[in-house]
Amino acid sequence: MPSMICVAMLVDEPSRAIAAAERARDEGADLVEYRLDTLFAGEGDDAGAAACLEVVARSPLPCIATCRPVYEGGGYEGDDESRFGLFEAMIAADRPPRYIDVEARALRRAPGLRARLAAAIRAAAASAGDDRTRLILSRHDFDRRPPDLFRQLADLRAQPEADVLKIAFRARSLRDNIDVFELLGERDRPTIALAMADTGLLSRVLAPKFGGLLTFASLDAGAATAEGQPTVRDLVELYRFRDVDPATFLYGVVGWPVAHSLSPNIHNAGFEALNHNGVYLPMPVAPEWEHLKATLATLLDFGPLHLAGLSVTIPHKQHLLRFAKEDHTRRWLIDPVAERAGVANTLAISGTDSEGAVYRVMNTDVPAVTGPLAEAIGAEPNAALGGRRIGVLGAGGAARAAALGCFEAGAAVTVFARSAERAHRLAEDIAQGSMLRLGTAAGAPPESRGRIDAKPLDAVSKTPCDVFINCTPIGMSGGDDEHASPLTDAALDAMPPDGVVFDTVYNPPSTPLLRAARQRGLTLVDGVEMFVHQAAAQFHAWTGQPAPVRLFRRVVLESLPPDEREHA
């Protein structure tokens, strides 16, 4: 049976709940979970119970009726005796719920009630047959992964009256998703297993891959009933939940933070357009090397995950390269550009371990600068950039990719940064790295290399350049310098008429820098172009197919806030 999407909602008033359930149905949900405990707030028990029965009876979708007690993280303050009485009434009603969710802890606390509930379900079965209400026996841990997780599963399995087992716990890291999948692999009856928090998203989206009965979703981003629930729209449209199956390949973006990355939007759209059986997810991994190392090892070791590719972003680009160099248990191929850059942003896995998988590490940021720049100039990179005076603004990761790519294409590069020391270090790194690796497999051909030096940022107006590449966050939406430009008017005025201004900032696509350059008739390259190019190279490495670049660009522009869409 395919996994279902269940929209979970806290019910405050019956008619509003029914309207929300109708919307859930229209957006593609199969099931709705009514958290009915909220109906008792300020109501007497009788009024609350009547409202519960009304909601279940009017539900436009099959439903799970849940009335969570306070001792299990819910809002129901009454005793279990009355709560089980409510369940009995629902089960016996003309339009009973498809499921009721009862906590394993509640059954343990009240063995007498367990017998009553079982009798009510049996009685309903006699009259309703297959339409009878089914019992979900649940365990939750909102704080952590329980240390005795698998014993908890065994306890649940020992309860014969449970039709469905449910275990949900808060993930501490991505690695906890693997426990969820292993737990599902041991199921002896329909099972719901989920990890909460943003690190648990894998367990929610990949439920169909590992045979989970259902996954929970919210109707709106702010209306989740548990941490980390995606919206039903994201599940269906962004993550293509209906297409996920046991053979689906997993991809994702590893970084910290990654919640606002647009990479899931473009890669999932690309997979859909090319009919590639893959899903791409945000994968937050805490900043330290130890976290990246442990997470990557766990994900790579778990074959059934079918991990096929990763985008890797701040702060793990260096860590990925280090992992590839230090891990001797797999066959790694480090692309020369990644080796020379000292950072990598892509992992592509081909084949399986049994047939000798190859783990390829790449840097697609470098060609994502030189490619669009050469296109803007209208020639091949070396012809376009050879001998040109290129000013790179900033000395971070993007600046390193830009400076390396331009240097190796033969340009005369000057790195400008507010920290003269960082600028010099970057320039020296690139020049020396290239010299050190001269004649090695990773070395750039000597004839193509240009020159590189460094200056403080305030020297930019006095240093004529044919091309400027902004690699600082100045002009970025939401940043401290959102309305500022990294270049003075004097620096732009000193550019030749065929000068090019490249802003790597992509939100907004039209930055103050690009607007000022456009006014002067200079050629522009925006950060969307770079973003799309680095993603397109990843997509090609993963699928072997050319990326739908125009689709990527459209998806990025549509995903940015509406008032930021004016294009440079």
Residue 506 near ligand NAP by CB under 6 A:
yes
Window contacting ligand NAP (CB under 6 A); options: 83-91, 104-112, 191-199, 390-398: 390-398
Q: Which residue has the tokens 């707030």?
A: 41
**398 binds ligand NAP, rule: CB under 6 A:** yes
Shortest distance, position 363 Cβ to ligand NAP, whole Å? 12
Q: Which residues pair with 165 in a beta bridge?
A: 137, 191
What are the angstrom distances between the C-alpha of 153 and each of 60, 72, 178, 269? 32, 17, 15, 37
* 195 lies in the site for ligand NAP, by CB under 6 A: no
Of the candidates 296, 266, 190, the one whose C-alpha atom is nearest the C-alpha of residue 535 is 266
> DSSP secondary structure string, 63-79?
EEEE--BGGGTS-B-S-
Binding ligand NAP (rule: CB under 6 A), the pick from 534, 542, 552, 556 is: 534
CA distance 99 to 66: 9
For the CB of residue 497, give the shortest distance to ligand NAP in the complex, in Å: 26
| Position with the least CB separation from ligand NAP | 396
Piece of the chain touching ligand NAP by CB under 6 A; list 286-294, 326-334, 406-414, 468-476:
468-476
Q: Figure out which of the listed residues 281, 417, 522, 525 binds ligand NAP, where binding follows CB under 6 A.
A: 417
In 3D, which of 365, 346, 486 has the Cα closest to residue 415? 486
Among 406, 505, 547, 556, binds ligand NAP (CB under 6 A): 505
Using the rule CB under 6 A, is 406 a contact of ligand NAP? no
At position 509, the amino acid (one-letter code) is: P
By annotation, the residues acting in catalysis are 317
- Cα–Cα distance between 196 and 391 in angstroms, integer? 46
Residue of the chain from 10, 193, 395, 430 that contacts ligand NAP (CB under 6 A):
395
442 exposed, middle or buried (CB, 10 Å; 0-12, 13-18, 19+)?
Answer: middle
Position 371 contacts ligand NAP (CB under 6 A): no
Token code pair at residue 270: 């690309």
Of 313-332, binders to ligand NAP (CB under 6 A) are 314
Residue-wise burial string across 271-298, b where 16 or more C-beta atoms lie within 10 A, e elsewhere: beeeebebbbbbbbbbeeeebbbbbbeb
Kindly state whether residue 555 participates in binding ligand NAP, applying the rule CB under 6 A: no
Q: Does 394 bind ligand NAP (CB under 6 A)?
A: yes
d(CA 375, CA 352): 37
66 near ligand NAP, judged by CB under 6 A:
no
Question: Is 509 a residue that touches ligand NAP (CB under 6 A)?
Answer: no
Name the residue type at position 41. Answer: A
How far apart are alpha carbons 553 and 550 in whole angstroms? 5
List the structure tokens of 184. Answer: 């599902």
Contact present, 232 and 217 (Cβ < 8 Å): yes
List the one residue from 530, 555, 556, 568 that touches ligand NAP (CB under 6 A): 530
- 99 contacts 164 by C-beta, under 8 angstroms: yes
Q: Which CB atom, from 181 or from 416, has the smaller least distance to ligand NAP?
A: 416
- Euclidean distance between CA atoms 404 and 408, whole angstroms: 6
Alpha-carbon distance of 341 to 403, in angstroms, equals 10
| Piece of the chain touching ligand NAP by CB under 6 A; list 3-11, 122-130, 412-420, 461-469 | 412-420
Q: In the range 425-464, which residues lie near ligand NAP by CB under 6 A? A: 457
Asked whether the beta carbons of 505 and 476 are under 8 A apart, the reply is: yes
Q: Which positions from 133 through 192 interact with ligand NAP, judged by CB under 6 A?
A: none
Pick the stretch among 32-40, 116-124, 374-382, 527-535 that binds ligand NAP (CB under 6 A). 527-535
472 interacts with ligand NAP by CB under 6 A? yes
Cβ distance to ligand NAP smaller for residue 452 or 476: 476
How many chain residues bind ligand NAP (CB under 6 A)?
25
Least separation in angstroms between CB 418 and ligand NAP = 4
Should residue 476 be labelled a site residue for ligand NAP when binding is judged by CB under 6 A?
A: yes
**Position 481 contacts ligand NAP (CB under 6 A):** yes
Residue in 125, 122, 58, 67 with CA at minimum distance from that of residue 100: 67
What's the one-letter identity of residue 295?
T
Of 38 and 472, CB closest to ligand NAP: 472
Residues within the interface to ligand NAP (CB under 6 A): 314, 394-399, 417-419, 422, 457, 471-474, 476, 481, 504-506, 527, 530-531, 534
